[in-house]
Structure 1
Amino acid sequence: MNDLASAAVPGRPPCDVPAARAALRRAAPALAAFAAIRLLGLVVLAVWSTADGKDWHTLLTARWDALWYTRVAEQGYGYTVQLPNGDVHSNLAFFPLLPWLERGLSALTPLSPADAGLVVTWLASLAAAWALYATGERLHGQRAGIALAALWAALPVGIVQSMAYSEALFTALAAWSLYAVLTGRWVWAGVLTSLAGLTRPVGAAVVAAVWISAAVTLWRQRAGGVRLRAALRAQPGLLPGVLLAPLGWCGFFLWVGARQGSFTGYLDVQGNWGNGFDGGIAFGTFVWHQLSGPAFAAGLGLLVGVGLAIWLYLRGVRQGQPLPLAVYGGTVLLLALTAKGYFGSKPRLMLPAYPLLLPLAVGLARWRPVRAWLVVGLVAAGSAAYGAFWLNGSGPP
């Protein structure tokens, strides 16, 4: 793992406007590539939806989870749906930051909460692409940063980055938080991690990355003979950042528990949705049923996809991926693979695991530009077609 202490920049101003402008100029090619790939996805979706007699705008803003977020923005928490089998689906399962932003933006503009959610997602996806570029550039150079942003845009489920869903917002907050850790901005890391914890349940992965990185940073300095107090002074803001990091996630978890009258209230809500963690038993059983039944090809595809994700993670670790990224990417991957229920959501749940793409980005950066962009273009075209097919079919649950 790269030494966090060597990557940190203690004492650097947290907000340097000229430096931010220069960083944005350097990121412009990555943002342009990201926007072009996502625009291609939207154009293909619009054409496909029109041919299928559906409205692309409705598919992006008013179906599946997007409807639940909009209801929270419009009505607050407390809405439930009782299914014929007796299960109760509560909107308490959905974390509040996206609906808060939807409500706030719709109050300040003529936009409806649903359209406000779309605007928030599009802006957040650009912010995430910038963070991915900045991370790739810092670790492996400009070309790797551009490749990382482009690959994230061209994922098979990349269309979710253009929906009124919370994945893009969460990825932006998580990626900038981890970048703050890499650059020694611990307070910023704590604030952004807290906001990520208000966005999705997997915000716990960002908290884990910040805490473990902070602990290892102090341990390395202590191992070098530095006293704890001196080590903390050498890392300005580390302790406040560590204390701030879990506030968002823990705050919502405890609030739902108090509202439900049980410390495990949020877990109970998720249980009623059929979600939870069983160590991957349910997912493994699902894959086995696919492999042993008529859907063998689908099961084989799932197995290959899981194997590829695990291989990319291990490859990144072997290449010396910095500790914050390794902890975060591994935790997101672990949570996605060990969760039960809604097996079709697995690819979407792994969308924020951008560190898994770093080995591919590094490899692309070593190719000749024409060859690299040809590959990215082909992958982007496949992503656009799959996204349109997906949303006009079963779509993301």
Structure 2
Amino acid sequence: MQTVQKPSRTSLTSHALTPAAVYLAVRLAGLVVLAIMAAAHDRSLLDVLKSWDGDWYLSIAEHGYDREGGGLVDAAGNFTPNTTLAFFPGYPVLVALLGPSVLSGLVVSVAAGIAAAYGITRLAGDRRVGLVLVALFASTPMAVTLSMVYSEALFSALAAWALVGVLERKWWLASLCCVGAGLVRPSAGVLILIVIVAVVLRERGYRGVLAAVVCPLGLAGYLLFVADRTGNVFGWFVLQESGWGTAFDGGVNTAEFVGRVLTSDAPLMETANVLTVLGALVLCVVVVVRKPPWPLVAYGIGLFVMTAGSSGVTYSKMRLLVPAFTLLLPVAAGLARRRTGTVLAVLSATALLSGWFGGYALTAWAYAI
């Protein structure tokens, strides 16, 4: 009689740690490249990792929303008592809990990125595909923000686990992650709609109804807070439009930007943004054709529509698309079918290219990302 050998404790531990290891390996490669480029520009790595929005988040973590400008201004070069309200509180609150500092911000981002890696692996359905998807997510063009004092990693983690909750009908998980995401970024609105539609289609019990009621509370609560502070029910949207020129225009501004870049001698950063937006548009079509679970399709396309459909700082579109990891599912599935050597070669190349581009964006490019 043949004895079935049980997996060793070491192999089980290795299996459990793999998503984190893949994510951290890709991000570490990017950070090494960034450190080299930062040194070439006489800047410290920590200083680079808190660039742009990082300074705002650290300011809010230390002083809250009641403070003077301290040299920080919006994209129009202004600062008002309400300017800081444009930034959602979820990320800086977590940073403040650890003690407001660059290192605290990086700890939050690293921990959130690891949490996102496990959620993304689980969403993929197939472990090999999931691990490839994690590597691709960690090496998107502006994945450097996942390792910065930025909210991309935290939002990605909450989004991934909210989608896990929807697919597995764990409504408490879906709703609580939606609440958290709503305190991090306005794009949580996409997740909220997905949860509500999923409840209507799949769950008529009290748990589903409760999830549908609870999931908008984070986003709605913060928008109402800003409305009260500004005296305008649309206060947050007014701050965004007046300070950063951001408003939903159905894609008019993006179309004009794409047209200008494709017909002129545009800088690398602008060209990369256009190629990323156009690539994401193609992936929207591919993901519909491939037919993964509809919440994953809706999430990716929803983030794309919010990003491409809004005006504002066009150089930020690559960053705003970082959490749209479900659009990469067809790419991950196709790559996962290749030989291991091929997979490793492709992922190594994307990690290094992402690292270089992130370094370029933070050290050579003069404007906000």
- Given the two structures, how large is their TM-score scaled by the length of structure 2? 0.90
Distance verdict in 2 for CA 1:178–1:381, change over 3 Å: same
Q: Distance in 2 between matches of 1:84 and 1:352?
A: 23
What's the CA shift for 1:213? 1.6
Once the two structures are superposed, residues 276-328 of structure 1 have per-residue CA deviations (whole angstroms, 9 ceiling, x without a partner) of 11111112112222233332987765544333212212211222221211111
Residue in 2 that maps onto 1:164: 149
Pairing of 1:287-366 with structure 2 (within 5 A):
287-295=258-266, 302-366=273-337
Residue in 2 that maps onto 1:31: 20
What's the CA shift for 1:87? 4.7
Once the two structures are superposed, residues 118-170 of structure 1 have per-residue CA deviations (whole angstroms, 9 ceiling, x without a partner) of 1100110111111111111x2xx111011010111111211111001001000
Contact 1:170 1:352 in 2 (8 A): yes
My pick for the range that moved more, 312-321 or 76-85, is 76-85
1:373 aligns with 2:344: yes
Contact 2:277 2:318 in 1 (8 A): no
Residue in 1 that maps onto 2:232: 262
Query: What percent of counterpart residues are identical?
Result: 34
Residue in 1 that maps onto 2:241: 271
Structure 2 alignment gaps of length 5 or more: 1-10
Residue in 2 that maps onto 1:57: 46
Residue in 2 that maps onto 1:68: 56
Residue in 1 that maps onto 2:89: 96
1:124 aligns with 2:124: no
Distance verdict in 2 for CA 1:276–1:385, change over 3 Å: same
Contact 2:273 2:318 in 1 (8 A): no
Contact 1:30 1:147 in 2 (8 A): no
Amino acid at match of 2:90: L
Q: Distance in 2 between matches of 1:302 and 1:50?
A: 25
Q: Distance in 2 between matches of 1:393 and 1:23?
A: 44
Distance verdict in 2 for CA 1:85–1:51, change over 3 Å: closer
Give 3-state SS (helix, strand or coil) of 2:287's partner: helix
Give 3-state SS (helix, strand or coil) of 1:237's partner: helix
Pairing of 1:145-294 with structure 2 (within 5 A):
145-218=130-203, 231-232=204-205, 237-273=207-243, 274-294=245-265
Contact 1:213 1:323 in 2 (8 A): no
What's the CA shift for 1:329? 1.1
Distance verdict in 2 for CA 1:298–1:59, change over 3 Å: closer
Contact 1:208 1:327 in 2 (8 A): no
Contact 1:170 1:200 in 2 (8 A): yes
Distance verdict in 2 for CA 1:23–1:311, change over 3 Å: farther
Contact 2:33 2:352 in 1 (8 A): no
What's the CA shift for 1:243? 1.0
Structure 1 alignment gaps of length 5 or more: 1-21, 107-111, 219-230
Q: Distance in 2 between matches of 1:202 and 1:82?
A: 23
Distance verdict in 2 for CA 1:380–1:23, change over 3 Å: same
What's the CA shift for 1:242? 1.0
Residue in 2 that maps onto 1:48: 37
- Cα RMSD over matched residues? 2.2
Residue in 2 that maps onto 1:133: 121
My pick for the range that moved more, 163-172 or 312-321, is 312-321
Distance verdict in 2 for CA 1:85–1:348, change over 3 Å: closer
Once the two structures are superposed, residues 34-73 of structure 1 have per-residue CA deviations (whole angstroms, 9 ceiling, x without a partner) of 1111111111111221122111110102x21011011111
Q: Distance in 2 between matches of 1:82 and 1:313?
A: 35
Contact 2:269 2:361 in 1 (8 A): no
What's the CA shift for 1:88? 4.3
Distance verdict in 2 for CA 1:333–1:263, change over 3 Å: same
Q: Distance in 2 between matches of 1:42 and 1:318?
A: 35
Contact 2:270 2:315 in 1 (8 A): no
What's the CA shift for 1:101? 0.7
Q: Distance in 2 between matches of 1:23 and 1:332?
A: 36
Q: Distance in 2 between matches of 1:246 and 1:23?
A: 38
Amino acid at match of 1:211: I
Q: Distance in 2 between matches of 1:179 and 1:86?
A: 41
Amino acid at match of 1:275: T
Once the two structures are superposed, residues 73-92 of structure 1 have per-residue CA deviations (whole angstroms, 9 ceiling, x without a partner) of 11111445667978546010
Q: Distance in 2 between matches of 1:342 and 1:302?
A: 11
Distance verdict in 2 for CA 1:207–1:279, change over 3 Å: same
Give 3-state SS (helix, strand or coil) of 1:277's partner: coil
Q: Distance in 2 between matches of 1:388 and 1:299?
A: 15
Give 3-state SS (helix, strand or coil) of 2:130's partner: helix
What's the CA shift for 1:267? 0.8
Say how many residue pairs are matched: 352
- Given the two structures, how large is their TM-score scaled by the length of structure 1? 0.83
Amino acid at match of 2:116: A
